[in-house]
Amino acid sequence: MFALTDRSLKGQVSAVEWQARVDLAACYRLVADSRWGDLIYTHISARIPHTDEYLINPFGLTFDEVTASNLVKVDLVGNILDGSSYSINPAGFTIHSAIHEVRHDAQCIIHLHTKATISVASLKGGLQPWSQYAMFSLSSMSYHAYEGLAVNRDEKKRLQDDLASNNHMLLHNHGGLTLGPTVGDAFMRFYDLQRACEIQMDLLQANQSVIEIPQPIVDGIYAQANVVHSGETGGQIAWPAMLRKAYKLDPSFCE
């Protein structure tokens, strides 16, 4: 049988690093359960708090195979720091390293190729204010033009500039991205973005007029979104519930 974890790091790393590993591994399992994955491609990264070290998935494993111990620790260049027997996808880390480099407020970055986010990212109008889920994302939304596979280092500066201080991004013809000060915040933000995109595509297929949300409400949603999906209603309450779900699905993620 193929061993997903050739070593256990529990008790071998700091408590802070181990918690970051558990949270990130749980996020991978929850993304897999939601069917947002893309075989062995796309990535979720997390900075180990108070360090310049980052965790990312081993290249070649599906998201439901990721564990706390087999996550790979790297620097911003992608050098492996923990002696892992696994490698990473250097091209896949390009987007993440670009953002981690300038967004020191972000512990976690989620970048996925879901059908819904690719579809909306490929529409000229982008995400529309057609649902409450869209409101959460539009309060901090950015866009980045498609430049081919993300292997060109020159693209990093343009990506950083396009993201700026926003926490949601749609990459044209490519997919979606969210980031947050915790793994839980990044996950909740992607959940909102995914739902908003799913609803928008369903409404487009309905071929009926959509009830538009008045612009003054759209303009004033930022403060409301900060209240709903931060602090006690974001990572402090929703993420522990998601962790409990991950344990129910398969507790092997925390090995």
Per-residue pLDDT reduced to its tens digit, 27-56: 999 999 999 988 988 999 999 999 999 999
Instruction: Name the residue ranges covered by the structural domains of the chain.
Output: 15-249
H helix or E strand, kind and range, residue 226: helix 221-228
Alpha carbon distance 123, 229 (integer Å) = 27
15-249: CATH architecture: 3-Layer(aba) Sandwich (3.40)
Kindly list the distances between the CA atom of residue 108 and the CA atoms of 181, 203, 214, in Å, as whole numbers in the listed order.
7, 31, 33
In the structure, what pLDDT confidence band is assigned to residue 225 with cuts at 50, 70 and 90? low
* CB-CB contact of 27 with 57 (8 Å): no
In the structure, what pLDDT confidence band is assigned to residue 4 with cuts at 50, 70 and 90? low
Write the single-letter amino acid at 164.
A
H helix or E strand, kind and range, residue 240: helix 238-249
Closest by CA to 131, choosing from 228, 223, 210, is 210
Averaged confidence pLDDT in the chain: 88
Alpha carbon distance 61, 56 (integer Å) = 11
Q: Express as a percent the part of the chain with pLDDT over 90.
A: 63
Q: What is the dihedral of CA 39, 144, 44, 54, to 10 degrees?
A: 140
Burial, 173: exposed, middle or buried (Cβ in 10 Å; 0-12, 13-18, 19+)? exposed
SS (H, E, C) 104-139: CCCCEEEEECCHHHHHHHCCCCCCCCCCHHHHHHHC
